[in-house]
Amino acid sequence: MRSAVHHCGVHDEGEWPLFDDQMATKLVGSHVLVGITYEGRDGSVEKREQIHGEVISADKSAGTCIRRAGCADVYWLAPDLRGWQPAPRGGYQLKSTGEVVVDPDYLASWTIIPPCND
């Protein structure tokens, strides 16, 4: 799975655009599972998090908004849709809670790196 990685204000542009209107349309209303890794400036893993829920909006300027399952909280991701992949059918167990997410529509993986202090 492709990760979206931000580092020192430079974004890996990859081989396709950051935002795709057709993909955004597909995401809205879908059930998604997102893995997020927070790294330190030295590349060490500081925290891992998994969230799932319904995409309630995907906008080029605001980003992707996910209403987390089981609560009213929302989680925002940057408007980079390159890392989203259709999810293979099955159950996905969340490491932090043991909850099993069954048949999400899409998966994504993000690595968040703090900005450099120049």
Q: List, for residues 56-101, the tens digit of each pLDDT value.
A: 999 999 999 999 999 999 999 999 998 899 999 999 999 989 999 9
Report if residue 27 sits inside a domain: yes
Report if residue 117 sits inside a domain: no
Report if residue 81 sits inside a domain: yes
Report if residue 96 sits inside a domain: yes
| β-sheet bridge partners, residue 1 | none
pLDDT tens per residue across span 10-58: 344 455 578 989 999 999 999 999 999 999 988 899 999 999 999 999 9
Tokens 């690595």 -> residue: 111
Q: How far is the C-alpha of 32 from the C-alpha of 55, rounded, in Å? A: 7
Report if residue 65 sits inside a domain: yes
Q: Which amino acid is at 34?
A: V
Report if residue 118 sits inside a domain: no
SS3 content of the chain, % helix, strand, coil (to 5): 5, 45, 45
Q: How far is the C-alpha of 48 from the C-alpha of 45, rounded, in Å? A: 8
User: Is the distance from CB of 4 to CB of 41 less than 8 angstroms?
Assistant: no
Range of the domain at 14: 3-112
Domain count within the chain: 1
